[in-house]
Structure 1
Amino acid sequence: MPTQRLSVVVTRRLPDVVETRMKELFDVTLRDDDTPMTRDELAQAMRRADVLVPTITDTIDASLMAGAGERLKLIANFGAGVDHIDVQSARQRGILVSNTPGVLTEDTADMAMALMLAVTRKIPQGLQEMQAGTWRGWSPLANLGTRIGGKRLGILGMGRIGQAVARRAQAFGMQIHYHNRRRLRPEVEEKLEATWWESLDQMVARMDVISINCPHTPSTFHLLNARRLKLLKPTAVVINTSRGEVIDENALTRGLRAGEIAGAGLDVFERGNEINPRLRELPNVVLLPHMGSATWEGRVEMGEKVIINIKTFADGHRPPDQVLPSML
């Protein structure tokens, strides 16, 4: 008699190759259109599924967790960040949570460098000029930006992505500085030619570029708050490809408008897709719609990790990418 397959509900459209493989392995319910589930749809899915596969657009809080059915035993998140999932409540209900770490490291680091170059070299302004047909030829003083070679880069969060950004910045001739909960091993520091700052205040006051590469946790919420943003040099640039909640967005907007901060490149925002209209109007800001991880290869690898986590769980073992409250 065939073994009963796990009931899996996927909350968003995934690459065809991932959905097809899931269909082969599990009793999977796929999404027809690429829109987020409503809260009611999420609640229904959590009542009937053995495994839920959510994304960052699904907020799974303690209230939703309390209404989960007895069948739900695994939340296999499609993505590395899990701040949209109440991991503690899940654990209390005996529901495992897994994620997809390490897959998007290189893609996100690429985007951090792209934003850095876009802001400092005024690429959007040049693009706009060309698209509008207003360019009248080369001029010695037109669209002057600043070079990043020789500049000091301060990285907030020196995990996988932070180190990948450091390696790229090294190749551009930048001086690497970082602030992290724990100092890197001496051999890693030496390889990256990186300087560690125990004091974040001291570091940000001296940097030309700040790159945010730490996760959003209670301890990193508004890590760049109004007071700390005031410490930045007026020539400094802020890059964020991590989580919007790490920056006090209103304070950043005020600093940019007042000329106290030279520019910003943001791929993530404090209120998700609700962008501060004043931020959108600023000429010294480059805004992207959370594209840091948006490569075909990255999305497929994320899906493969989700499948491995579910398959391992189905085989009676702990998912290799299980997330525990103590890890957050």
Structure 2
Amino acid sequence: MTTDNTAKRRLVLLLLIPLADDFKALLRERFELIDAPDPAARAAAIAGRGAEIELVLTNGATGLRADDIAALPRLGLAAAQGAGYENLDIAAAKARGIAVCNGAGTNDSCVADHTLALLLASVRALPQQEKALRAGIWRDDLPLRPSVNGRRLGIFGMGAIGRKIARRAQAFEMEIGYHNRRPREDAAGCRYFDSLVALAEWADFLVVAAPGGPATRHAVNAEVLAALGPQGHLVNIARGSLVDTAALAEALAAGRIAGAALDVYESEPKPPETLLGFDNVILTPHIAGWSPESIRATIDLFIANVQAWEAGRPVLTPL
């Protein structure tokens, strides 16, 4: 934490994630920025300037390991850019008295918007419809695709993003069910299920919006996919680890589910090779939470968290 004698000195920030130049410029206005967006640059920055670094901005996938934290003796605050923080070693940071925070709430709306776009595109088969049209096939020779209105949407993970997805789905007159560690009082009008399999059996469509990490790894497995059924669609905007990719490929090949739309994969940043051959799979490159507005909001929140920490106040979004 700074004192009156050092209040005008710019804190040294290690940036571990890629950002557009405009957003890095916002950080450079306030901090001495060390830009290390890949493993080699990260290792070089920590080895060469570890004794100077006071702040770290990372994300859930990139994280910050215990050995990195140990090599940063002046580190006072570590932040995850978005809501996810699965690879940020919170225990190691807190053991050192380091403030830890995330970007909760900054991209929830963007992720929820993208979720509904993926769901609609999958259920209505928009990529297949366009491909057919470009090949000269008119609607009379194409199968009818179901609508989403009035259908049952299951949401795995009723956090802030899950609740925003639910509100958007309710505008489509969908019935909402969810599975969470416990029922939520702020999920009015949504039906709680005490198991993911029970939710999948009830739902027409299943959206994965739960946190990543060991506790949820492969939560969407062959049993859950079988319960979702041959007319079911799966959407994942959470973390790739929550869905068993091999089981999903087998379910698609056997026609045990109708389609999948995924923004996240176990193989990131490489695409999921076993899913690339399916016409009924829609893939986007982990961009559900990315928009100019949402990225700017994460930067603004990070700066506000640093300001709170400098002033001796609790950070706004602690972990």
Work out which of the residue numbers 253, 265, 268 in structure 2 matches 1:269: 265
How far the C-alpha of 1:85 sits from its partner, in A, is 1.0
Q: Secondary structure at the match of 2:154?
A: strand
Amino acid at match of 1:250: A
Q: Distance in 2 between matches of 1:58 and 1:202?
A: 33
Query: Which residues of 2 match residues 81-100 of structure 1 at below 5 A?
Result: 81-100=84-103
Q: Distance in 2 between matches of 1:30 and 1:200?
A: 41
> Structure 2: which 5+ residue stretches go unaligned?
none
Q: TM-score, normalised by structure 1?
A: 0.88
Q: Is the 8 A contact 2:69 2:75 kept in 1?
A: no
Amino acid at match of 1:106: S
Amino acid at match of 2:304: I
Q: Is the 8 A contact 1:15 1:300 kept in 2?
A: no
Q: Secondary structure at the match of 1:102?
A: coil
Answer yes or no: is 1:201 the counterpart of 2:197.
yes
Answer yes or no: is 1:295 the counterpart of 2:297.
no
Which residue of structure 2 aligns with residue 27 of structure 1?
A: 32
Amino acid at match of 2:96: R
Moved more, 313-322 or 165-174: 313-322
> Structure 1: which 5+ residue stretches go unaligned?
324-328
Q: Distance in 2 between matches of 1:306 and 1:143?
A: 49
Aligned length: 312
How far the C-alpha of 1:140 sits from its partner, in A, is 2.0
Moved more, 74-83 or 300-309: 74-83
- CA RMSD between the two structures: 2.0
Query: Which residues of 2 match residues 244-255 of structure 1 at below 5 A?
Result: 244-255=240-251
Moved more, 275-284 or 148-157: 275-284
Q: Is the 8 A contact 2:50 2:73 kept in 1?
A: no
Q: Distance in 1 between matches of 2:76 and 2:144?
A: 56
Q: Is the 8 A contact 1:118 1:124 kept in 2?
A: yes
How far the C-alpha of 1:57 sits from its partner, in A, is 4.8
Which residue of structure 2 aligns with residue 12 of structure 1?
A: 17
Amino acid at match of 1:179: H
Deviation per residue, 1:65-100 (Å, 9 max, x gap): 33x221112112222110121111222233222110
Which residue of structure 1 aligns with residue 66 of structure 2?
A: 62
Answer yes or no: is 1:73 the counterpart of 2:76.
yes
How far the C-alpha of 1:11 sits from its partner, in A, is 2.4
Q: Distance in 1 between matches of 2:153 and 2:305?
A: 36
Q: Is the 8 A contact 1:207 1:232 kept in 2?
A: yes
Answer yes or no: is 1:213 the counterpart of 2:209.
yes
Which residue of structure 1 aligns with residue 183 of structure 2?
A: 183
Q: Distance in 1 between matches of 2:17 and 2:177?
A: 38
Q: Is the 8 A contact 1:9 1:52 kept in 2?
A: yes
Which residue of structure 2 aligns with residue 147 of structure 1?
A: 147
Q: TM-score, normalised by structure 2?
A: 0.90
How far the C-alpha of 1:196 sits from its partner, in A, is 1.1
Which residue of structure 1 aligns with residue 220 of structure 2?
A: 224
Q: Secondary structure at the match of 1:268?
A: coil
How far the C-alpha of 1:56 sits from its partner, in A, is 4.0
Q: Distance in 1 between matches of 2:143 and 2:153?
A: 23
Answer yes or no: is 1:41 the counterpart of 2:18.
no
> Could you tell me the percent identity over the aligned residues?
32
Deviation per residue, 1:157-189 (Å, 9 max, x gap): 11111111111111112111111112121xx44
How far the C-alpha of 1:203 sits from its partner, in A, is 1.7
